[in-house]
Amino acid sequence: MTNFKKWNIIDSIESLNNLLKENEITCTLFSQPSCGVCASIKPQLQQLISNNFPDIELAYVDISKNPEIAGKHTIFSIPVLIIFIDSKEHIRKSRIINISQLSNELERLIKLYK
């Protein structure tokens, strides 16, 4: 069985900003526990990043506990996935997230970035 990367649990704007500064590429999932779609996409994202993009850091923001982070990043629905490179937003997906399509987009983005 594959060892999956752990999610960094974000509990403040400062902790997210620090994580973004410390890592070149960060995959940030904005969600909340009561969201069924979020619960199904979270392990799929974890598997994708762990298996195919191990240099990408994972971050999870529970917007029910951290509404100020959601506001800062203009999150109006969930789930929302944002890929940050050098603290700048490069990919944003919301509601229905196609893992295969995301994988292709990440491959292209990383090739351009490197």
Q: Kindly report, residue by residue over 17-26, the tens digit of the pLDDT.
A: 999 999 999 9
d(CA 72, CA 19): 16
Residue 74 has pLDDT above 70, yes or no: yes
CA 86, 92, 93, 99 torsion: positive or negative?
A: negative
Token pair listed for 22: 């410390």
26-59 pLDDT per residue, tens: 999 999 999 999 999 999 999 999 999 999 999 9
**Per-residue pLDDT averaged across 85-102, rounded?**
95
Residue scoring higher pLDDT (59 or 2) = 59
Pick the CATH number of 8-113 from 3.40.50.150, 3.40.30.10, 1.10.150.120, 3.30.470.20: 3.40.30.10
Pairing of strands 80-85, 25-31: antiparallel
| Predicted pLDDT of residue 2 | 58
